[in-house]
Chains A and B, each alone.
Chain A
């Protein structure tokens, strides 16, 4: 099993959560912090195996919740709920088109926070909600959507630069070898 891709995805998730907790620029400019984990989940669901998708949901959710006032573990299920349908239908999804990536990122980035909020409210928590939440949700959706094609491009580049190169086919084929007879030798 090639461990390069899962390690890269989980490392990106680690850095993404750290960036979200320390960089205040999106919150300052747009009034909301952009979550990159759903966009990353789209990439993982379409390009990695199920173990990586599950690991990203568990570890990404745990890292996110460890910095947040969220109950620990509440972000795991929304991330998986976003990733699993994409993973199941990945043979039918046009993953190479940037517009398709944008739309998938938008869908994932809209669904994940909505599901988390639903779980929080269902658990009796009192998150800060109001009309401004709709704006924050739109910012998160748009931010995640824009980030998705970049994540695809970044991982493709990393794959090409650091991963195993595809084996190129040689011109020589043993079955097409011209066997010379004894006279010509």
Chain B
């Protein structure tokens, strides 16, 4: 039943697998990059086919509607300019006060827009691939966010694309702070495998004063995520470890299940 050629095939494939698994991380990263580049023509086709319906819809949009949209955008632009002036004034004041107190000046965030091109095909990881790579200056451990909140961090970089490990994956632990009077701090840990919008905020003190609806932000500890990036809101609080610690369920602001564009933060 088990012929010699079966043994040879089994041995050859297992040998290949063992060799690949024992390669150093850097080499496997390069191999992944090389294998992923086989799919580049398909990405071009996929993005072109996705763009086609939008282009068609744009071409048949009535002129009146376009004028209305332009008018609305002009008004929004005006409001944003006013807000920018106010924010600049507040920032100047903040800098002056920091200077008077001798505090370190805050470095403004530099962001770069990236398209999400792929999701992890395996159900047990939460990663996505973006279309920015080392040629765009991307490095590992750069924070990734949307306008709503934190998304994750860059975990691997190739020349033209990067892998982002999302909040809620085992490989993306975030030091977080609850926006309350006591600024309780904890660490974000994965929620369930099904709901990507919920994560757990653990390692909180038993005396933590948490309530549903409170905002959760990055604490700035750990050296990867700067302080103050919105993460989500507390939806549930429970005591764990026989009352010795508190844990909270946090609903993420960013919709990780429908990511299309993200911002990569440069320090």
Contact = CB atoms under 8 A, between A and B. Distances in A.
Are A and B physically bound partners?
yes
Interface stretch (A1-9, A28-36, A152-160): A28-36
In the complex, which range does the number of interface residues on chain B fall in?
A: 35 or more
B244 interface: no
A68 B125 contact: yes
Contacts of B119: 21-22, 24, 27, 33
A133 B124 contact: yes
B11 to A, nearest CB: 10
Contact of B16 (A27, A50, A73): A73
Nearest to A19: B121
B17 interface: yes
Given A50-B9, A127-B124, A129-B193, A77 B17 contact: yes
Q: For B17, B119, B125, which residue has the most chain A Cβ atoms within 10 angstroms?
A: B17
A73 B1 contact: no
Interface residues of A, number: 57
Given A21-B119, A66-B32, A28 B257 contact: yes
A181 interface: no
B192 A72 contact: no
Contacts of A116: 122
Contacts of A35: 121
B121 A62 contact: no
A69 B121 contact: no
B126 interface: yes
B193 A69 contact: no
A128 B193 contact: yes
Interface string B121-153: 111111101000000000000000000000000
B170 interface: yes
Given A33-B119, A72-B21, A76-B17, 14 more contacts: A15-B42, A18-B39, A63-B38, A64-B121, A67-B36, A68-B120, A69-B171, A73-B17, A88-B2, A128-B169, A128-B170, A129-B124, A130-B194, A133-B193
